[in-house]
A and B are shown apart, each in its own frame.
Chain A
Amino acid sequence: MQDLVVVRGRRTVLPGLSCTLRRGAITGLLGPSGCGKSTLIRSIVGVQQVDSGRVEVLGQPAGSATLRSQIGYVTQEASVYDNLSVRDNVAFFSRVLGVPVSDEDRVIEQVGLADHGGSLAGQLSGGQRSRVSLAVALLGEPPLLVLDEPTVGLDPVLRVELWRLFADLAAAGATILVSSHAMDEAARCDDLILMRSGEILAAGTPAQLCDAAGAQDIESVFLKLVRARGEAA
C-alpha cells in the first residue's frame, strides 16, 4: 500500500498511508476507535472509495474482480441475515462463492457454532452473531483474511480459541489482518501496525516495537510514540 488517501465528506480520514503485510503472518492493526482502522481495512478489501494512492493485494490492484473470491472479509457489525438460521446463512454465502457444500460444516465447526446450526442468527448473542459472520469469511479457505474487530465482546475463553484458529490458519499459509482497539491482543500477532488519527505511528514485530521504544508492552509503546509526536509538533 502506498500513499493511500481517503477523504470521507469533508474529513480526511487517511492522509497518506504506506504499509505492507507479510504473507502467512497475522498482522494486528491496533489503534483507538475512530483512528481510521476500518477505512484502511475497507480500502484493502476494495469497498472504500479511495481518493489517491495505490493498494495492491496478492499482486492485484485492490478491488479487482479476481480478488473477490480470495479475500475473507468480516465487517465490524456482523453482516448476516438475522431472520435466517446459522446454517442457511452459511449455505447462502457458500453458494454465492461457489465453494463445496462440505465447507459449510467445516466453517461452522471452526467458529464453535456446531450446536447452534439451526438457530436464527438474530436470536444469537452479539458474540455468536459475529462468529457467524466470521464463519462466512472462512468459506473457501481464502488466502487473505481481513477481520475488523472480530473479538470484540467475546468471553476470554472464546477469544483465546479464535486466536488459536487464526494462528492455525496463518500456519497453513493464510495472511491475516486483524484490527482491534484492545492493546492486550498485540502479543498474539506476528506483526503490528499502530495507528492513531489516520496515521501509522509504527509498524513491526511486537519485540521490535518494544525494543525501539524501550518499553515493556505495546500499550507503553503506544503512549511513548504518541507523546513523542506531541513534543515534536
Chain B
Amino acid sequence: MNKAIVAAVTVRVLRQLRRDRRTAAMLLVLPCVLITLLWWVYDGQELVFDRVGAPLLAVFPFIVMFLVTSVTTLSERTSGTLERLLAMPMGKLDFLAGYALAFGAVAIVQGLLTTSLALFVLGLDVAGPAWVLAAVAMLDGVLGTTLGLFVSAFARTEFQAVQFMPAFVLPQLLVCGLLLPRDQLPDALRVASDLLPLSYAVDAMQQVSMHAEWTTDLGRDVVVLVGFIGGALLLGAATLRRRTP
C-alpha cells in the first residue's frame, strides 16, 4: 500500500463530506436524534432503556455508515472516477483503505457523540466502562463502512444500493438478539445469526452493559468484528476490477 495515496483518498472523501452538509448531518446528528427518540419512547421506564439502549448504540452507527458508504462508493463507480483511478498508479487496497479511514474517522466522532449523549445526558446506565462502550460503537460504525464498501460492488444504481438496506440489514436486525436472546431462537435462525456480523456487534454492547469487567465473550465479539472488517475490505478489493467488460 502507498501511504501518500491512501492519505489523498481519505482527505478527498472528508473534503467531499464537508461540502455535503446533509450527508454530514445524517452521519453525525441522526444517530444522536435516534437515541434521544428511543429515550423518549421509554420515558419513565429507565430499565428498558438501559436494556435496549446499548445494543441500539451498535445498530444505529452500523446502519447509517453502511448506507452512506455503499451509496458514496457506488457513485464513484458510476461516475467513471473509479475507472480513472484504477488506470492510474492506485492500488485497490489503497482506494478501499482511504475510504475506510475517512469513514472510520467519521465513525469515531459519531461513536463519541452518541455514547456521550446516551451516558451523560440521557442517563443510560451500563455496568462496563464508558470507553469500551464508545470503542465498540466505533467498531460497529467501521464495520458498517467496510460492508457498505463491499456491497456497493453488487449494485448498478444508487437506487439498487439503497435496496441493500432492507435486504441485507433488516434480516440481521431481526436475528441479532435484540428482539429475543439468540439462544432462544429456533435452531436454524440461531445458526444463521452466528454467521452474521450484527449479532456480534449487539452482543458486544450487551456484554458491556451487563458486566463491569472485560469478559471472554466480549473479547470474542471484538475479535470477530475486527475479522469481519478485514474480511469485508479484502472481499471489497476483490470486487474492484481494473479491466471491465
Contact = CB atoms under 8 A, between A and B. Distances in A.
A8 B86 CA distance: 20
A136 B4 contact: no
Contacts, number: 79
A75 B5 contact: no
B81 A8 contact: no
Given A49-B245, A63-B243, A80-B81, A97 B88 contact: yes
Nearest to B90: A96
Given A92-B8, A96-B85, A46 B90 contact: no
A45 B88 contact: no
Nearest to A45: B87
Contacts of A96: 5, 8-9, 85, 88-90
A71 interface: yes
Given A47-B86, A68-B88, A95-B8, A77 B242 contact: no
A68 B86 CA distance: 8
Interface in B51-105: 79-81, 83-90
Q: How large is the interface on B (under 10, 10 to 19, 20 to 34, 35 or more residues)?
A: 20 to 34
Nearest to B18: A83
Given A68-B88, A136-B84, A9 B245 contact: yes
Given A63-B243, A96-B90, A84 B19 contact: yes
Contacts of B87: 45-47, 68, 71, 73
Contacts of B245: 8-9, 49
B88 to A, nearest CB: 5
Given A9-B245, A47-B244, A92-B8, A83 B88 contact: no
Given A68-B89, A96-B90, 13 more contacts: A45-B87, A47-B83, A47-B86, A47-B87, A48-B243, A49-B244, A68-B90, A79-B79, A82-B79, A83-B19, A84-B15, A95-B4, A98-B4
Interface of A: 8-9, 45-50, 63, 65, 68-69, 71, 73, 75, 77-84, 88, 92-93, 95-98, 120, 136
5 contacts: A9-B245, A49-B245, A50-B243, A92-B8, A95-B4
